[in-house]
Structure 1
Amino acid sequence: MTGKQTWAIPEGYIPEESTGPEPEMISHESLCVLNTADEDATLEITVYFTDREPVGPYEKTVPAERTEHFRFNEFEDPEEIPKGEPFASVLESDVPVVCQHTRLDSRQAENALLSTIAHPGE
Structure 2
Amino acid sequence: MNNLGSKVWIIPDGFLPLKSSGNLKSHEAVCVLNLGEKDANINLSIYFEDRNPMENFKAVCGAKRTNHIRLDKIMDNKGNKIPVNIPYSIKIESDEPIIVQHSRMDTTQAEMTLMTTIAYELK
In the superposition, the TM-score normalised over structure 1's length comes to 0.94
Give the Cα–Cα distance (whole angstroms) in 1 for the partners of residues 27 and 20 of structure 2.
9
In the other structure, the counterpart of 1:60 is: 59
User: Quick check: 1:40 aligned with 2:39?
Assistant: yes
Structure 2, gaps ≥5 residues long: none
Show CA shifts across 1:29-67 (max 9, x none): 110000000110000110000100101121110000000
Structure 1, gaps ≥5 residues long: none
Give the Cα–Cα distance (whole angstroms) in 1 for the partners of residues 9 and 71 of structure 2.
15
Runs of 4+ in 1 over 3 A off after TM superposition: none
Deviation at 1:20, TM superposition (A): 2.1
Deviation at 1:81, TM superposition (A): 0.8
Q: Which amino acid in structure 2 is aligned with residue 43 of structure 1?
A: I
In the other structure, the counterpart of 1:110 is: 111
In the other structure, the counterpart of 2:12 is: 10
Give the Cα–Cα distance (whole angstroms) in 2 for the partners of residues 120 and 76 of structure 1.
24
Number of aligned residues? 119
Deviates more, 1:81-90 or 1:68-77: 68-77
RMSD: 0.8
In the other structure, the counterpart of 1:84 is: 85
Q: Which amino acid in structure 1 is aligned with residue 113 of structure 2?
A: A
Percent of aligned pairs with the same amino acid: 39
In the other structure, the counterpart of 1:101 is: 102
In the superposition, the TM-score normalised over structure 2's length comes to 0.94
